[in-house]
Amino acid sequence: MKFQKGWLGYELSSSSLEHQPSVQALRDAGIKKPMAQAGLLEVASFSPADLSTLTDLVKRATQARGQSLATTNVLFNGCGATESPKGTEIYFVPDPVSALESFFLQSFLRETPEYVTGKNCKDIFLRVGGPEIFAAARPKQTDVSQPFQLLGTLVFVGDDGKAAHTYYWSDEEQQFLSKDEMEKKRSQPVHTIAIFPKIQADTATAVYLLRSFGEALFPGIAEAKIEFWSAAPEGKSPEQLEKEGCLLIDLGGRFDHHLMNQRSGKRSECAASLIAKYLGVEDHLALQKLLTWAKRDDLQGKGTVSADPIDRAFGLSGIIMNLNRQYHEEPQKALDIIVHLIGVHVAEEYRRHVELPREWEELEAKGKAESFILQQGSAELSTAVVESDNTTLAGFLRAAKKVDLILQRASTGHTNIITRQLRNIDLRPVIAALRLAEAEKKGLKLPASQEQLEAAGRLPEIEAWYYDDAANTIQNGGANPQGVKPTMLSKDEAVAILKDEIPKGRIGSIKYKKASEFEDG
């Protein structure tokens, strides 16, 4: 198959690349993603390009090296810029110690007739911004402030004049395959996962990822049994075992991070991170804390950073150690407990980072949520009013959106006011006004003094409103009303009271009052 021009290089995950702080800084500065060959660590270009000829070259290069060239682990620690009338091209360059496969492949190609020096850049580079410019050299001009490492897959990109076509190198087939062919080939049925008997944060996370996200590439893996091996059986390679339906984790093969780190010369990967990248879920918002924990536990031995003995005893890494001791002859029990806890964590992260933000946006679009600023003393308070029965929404708004003050109205009419406690908002004027307004709705005249109207707890005459000065909330039934009747006030009336009364309070006054009472006592 012939093309007008083509490029040989290593394809990097575009999403992983764009999430790197060094790349985000460029985007924030207005450097846009290049249109051509984005995410390709370019090794060589050819014009024209013959796929069969390049296939033969890669075969010979693999034989000359004696090791696979299909993937490379690249550490980017340098960058530079090339100027031309077209504009400025921004590029990253890899650390020469890393990306050994790409440097070997380029040096091999230089000795072949197909490699034209005058049409190629002598350096290996990754274009990350600006127009495509030919340059004989793209040296490292400055250090990257935050170096980053990415896994690359050997590809050929051919341009036939109408469109670009990408082909992926297969070691087993010893040829380039189309994306559809490679995905079909990568789909390997699995009935068994083999891991070490001693359960670790990394291996437990790896099992969770494969079971939860691996079904498309490894049919059957969601229900695959676990076998515990101290070493892979002799006489069979990891590739042979995988063909038979047994996938290894850290026992050789594609998901052995010890081998990967040894090849790259960097302790940068754990089994879980390799699997996440292979499955394409390394940037999943719900998995970020999990992957950080697994890598930190495995590479640094710091699954729990705190030096506090209670934190260490009840941190998940410490509990795993206890489970290994308790169930040293039944590792499946320990694994099942940890994988279940991991699943609970991921479900909560998904809710916080995906479901709740989506719900908030939908409520705003429907006019059932609004945000504004209220003033109390010199403090500006970020405030939200929302109509929703989801009792976890307020926690999301406080934690993710940094909202200081929230009024949430349920479909039943129950209305609660929640605050960020660290702001020490004075809710006394609000609870007093709510109680008076509620009494008026009920046709009552409260004999209470201002001090009683502002008191913590509940007034017998006005059971709808409870003031919790410890949590600094005003509850009309709270998360679980349990027989508490909804307020007779409309949402608009409650919001009007909030807006009118918050400015009358003295921020921090409750905190100081409690502190003085403690000192007097």
Provide mean pLDDT across the span 166-185.
84
CA distance 329 to 229: 13
Report the candidate in 414, 519, 432 with the shortest Cα–Cα distance to residue 469: 432
Evaluated on CA atoms 433, 438, 441, 442, the torsion sign reads negative
Query: Quick one: 393 and 506 in the same domain?
Result: yes
**What pLDDT is attached to residue 260?**
76
Whether 518 is in a domain gets the answer no
Whether 315 is in a domain gets the answer yes
Query: Quick one: 297 and 377 in the same domain?
Result: no
φ, ψ dihedrals at 104, nearest 5°? -65, -45
Please spell the DSSP secondary structure of 117-185, one letter per residue.
Answer: GGGS-SS-EEEEES-----S-----EEEEEEEEEEEEEEEEEE-SS-EEEEEEETTTTEEEEHHHHHHH
The DSSP bridge partners found for residue 90 are 81, 129
Instruction: Give yes or no for a contact between 390 and 359, defined as CB atoms under 8 angstroms apart.
Output: yes
**Average pLDDT in the chain:** 89
Per the rule left: phi > 0, alpha: psi between -120 and 50, beta: everything else, 508 is: left
Whether 360 is in a domain gets the answer no
Instruction: Give yes or no for a contact between 131 and 84, defined as CB atoms under 8 angstroms apart.
Output: yes
Structure-model confidence comparison of residues 434 and 76, the more confident one: 434
Query: Quick one: 444 and 467 in the same domain?
Result: yes
Which residue, of 345, 361, 392, is where some domain finishes? 345
Coil, strand or helix at 14? helix
Q: Which amino acid is at 430?
A: V
* Tally of domains within the chain: 3
Query: Quick one: 240 and 314 in the same domain?
Result: yes
**What pLDDT is attached to residue 187?**
73
Query: Quick one: 314 and 442 in the same domain?
Result: no
Provide mean pLDDT across the span 427-431.
96
Query: Quick one: 227 and 177 in the same domain?
Result: no
Which residue, of 291, 310, 345, is where some domain finishes? 345
Whether 358 is in a domain gets the answer no
CA atoms within 13 A on the CB side of 24: 8
pLDDT band per the 50, 70, 90 thresholds, residue 229: very high
Most confident of the following: 151-155, 264-268, 429-433: 429-433
CA distance 396 to 393: 5
State both tokens at 181. 């062919």
> Is the pLDDT confidence value at 86 over 50?
yes
CA distance 256 to 390: 43
Whether 521 is in a domain gets the answer no
Query: Quick one: 288 and 234 in the same domain?
Result: yes
Name the E strands within 299-399.
Answer: 369-376, 379-387
Query: Quick one: 29 and 177 in the same domain?
Result: yes
Per the structure, the complete domain to which residue 378 belongs is given by: 369-512
Whether 357 is in a domain gets the answer no
CA gyration radius, the chain:
30
Query: Quick one: 302 and 433 in the same domain?
Result: no
**Over the stretch 29-44, which tens digit does the pLDDT of each residue have?**
888 887 666 688 999 9
Structure-model confidence comparison of residues 482 and 54, the more confident one: 54
Query: Quick one: 70 and 101 in the same domain?
Result: yes
End-to-end CA distance of the chain: 88
Which residue, of 148, 182, 216, is where some domain finishes? 182
Share of the chain above pLDDT 90, in %: 55
Query: Quick one: 101 and 206 in the same domain?
Result: no
CA distance 13 to 433: 57
pTM for the structure as a whole: 0.62
Within 10 angstroms of residue 275's Cβ, the number of other Cβ atoms is: 27
84 membership: H or E segment, kind and range: strand 71-84
CA distance 386 to 209: 35
Provide mean pLDDT across the span 128-140.
86
**Over the stretch 446-455, which tens digit does the pLDDT of each residue have?**
877 899 999 9
Q: Which CATH number goes with the domain that contains 113?
A: 3.90.1140
Query: Quick one: 202 and 245 in the same domain?
Result: yes
CA distance 511 to 426: 9
State both tokens at 477. 């039934």
Whether 520 is in a domain gets the answer no
> Is the pLDDT confidence value at 264 over 80?
no
Whether 356 is in a domain gets the answer no
Q: Of 87-91, 134-138, 148-152, which range is least confident? A: 148-152
Report the candidate in 11, 19, 22, 10 with the shortest Cα–Cα distance to residue 80: 22
**What pLDDT is attached to residue 516?**
57
